[in-house]
Amino acid sequence: MFSNYLIALREGLEASLVVCILIAYLVKTGRRDALKPVWMGIGTAIAIAMGFGCALQFGSQELTFEAQEALGGSLSVVAVGLVTWMVFWMRRTARHLRSELHGKLDAALALGTGALVATAFLAVGREGLETALFVWASVHAASDGTPRPLLGVALGLATAVLLGWLFYRGALKINLAKFFTWTGGMLVVVAAGVLAYGFHDLQEADWLPGLTHLAFDISDTIPPDSWYGTLLKGVLNFQPDPTVLQVTVWLLYLIPTLTIFLAPVGFASGKGKVKGPDEQGSQPAQAPQA
C-alpha cells in the first residue's frame, strides 16, 4: 500500500504543481478567459489516463495466464524505464519548471484556444499516463487480492491534490529539490522491486529461463501471508523466494541507479529551492483576486 501511495503522491503532486502554475499564471496576467480551455485540456488528460488504466486492468483479464504474465512483465519493464527517466528529469528541472511552463503557455496564448487545450493536456497527460502504467505494474506485482493497493493510490492522489491546493493558496512552501530527491530515491527502490517482479513474470511466461533456480528461500522465516511479510511485499515488493535472475536484476538496477541519482548535481541549498507557482524571489504564492 505504501509503495502505491508514494507513486500516486509523487506523480500526483507533479500534476498538481503543473496545474497550479498554469492557473496562477493566467490569473495573474489577467487571462481568466483562457482558464476554460486549460481546464478542458486537464480534464481530457485525466480521462485518458483513467481510461488507459482501466484498459490495462480489464483488458489483461481476458488473456491466458501465459499472456497475462508476458504482458505484466513487459509493461513492468517499460514502467520502470519511464519512472526512472521521470525521477532524473524532475530532479534536474524542478527549479526551472515554472519558467518552462510559462514559456509554453505564452506561445499557446498567441495561437488560440486549441493550443491552450493541447498545452494543458500534454503538461498533465504525461504524468497521468506514467502514473497509470506504473501503478498498474506495482499493483500487479504487489496485489494480494485486497483493495489495499488501490486504497494507497487513492490516498496518495488525495494528498497530492490537497498539497497542490495549499501550495496554490500560498499556505504551503515546498522545497521541491529536496522533495523530489527523497521521494525519487524511494521510488527507485520501489521500481527495483517492480522490475524484479516483472522479470519473474517473464519467467513464468516462459520468455526467460531459470524459474526453478531460486537464489534463496526464507518463506519459513518471513511467511508471505504474515503481517510483516505483507508489509515488505507492499512497500518493497519483497519476495521471500526470488529466483537468481530476480536478485541479479534487482541489484544491477538498484545499486547504480540509486548511486547516480543521489550523487550531487549542483543543487546547492539555495539553488534547488522552489517555493510557489507564481512567486518571485522569496514571496509565497498569492491567492488570485476575484
DSSP string, 64-107: -HHHHHHHHHHHHHHHHHHHHHHHHHHHHHGGGHHHHHHHHHHH
What is d(CA 109, CA 66) in angstroms, rounded to the nearest whole number? 49
- The answer, yes or no, to whether residue 102 has pLDDT greater than 80, is no
- In a domain, residue 55? The reply is yes
Averaged pLDDT, 91-97: 70
Q: How many CB atoms lie within 10 A of CB 289?
A: 6
- In a domain, residue 249? The reply is yes
C-alpha cell, 125: 497527460
- In a domain, residue 284? The reply is no
Across the strands, what pairs with 278? none
- In a domain, residue 273? The reply is no
- In a domain, residue 105? The reply is yes
Least confident of 121-125, 159-163, 214-218, 252-256: 121-125
- In a domain, residue 267? The reply is no
Each residue of 227-255: pLDDT tens digit? Answer: 777 777 766 778 889 999 999 999 999 99
Number of domains in the chain: 1
Helix (H, G, I), strand (E, B) or coil at 215: coil
- In a domain, residue 102? The reply is yes
Least confident of 38-42, 76-80, 276-280: 276-280
- In a domain, residue 269? The reply is no
Under the banding of pLDDT at 50, 70 and 90, the label for residue 286 is: very low
| Residues spanned by the domain of 106 | 2-262
* Predicted local confidence at residue 36, as pLDDT: 86
Q: Which residues contact 20 (CB under 8 A, 6 or more apart)?
A: 164, 167, 168, 277, 285
Burial group, residue 123, by CB count within 10 angstroms (0-12, 13-18, 19+): buried
More confident residue, 222 or 270: 222
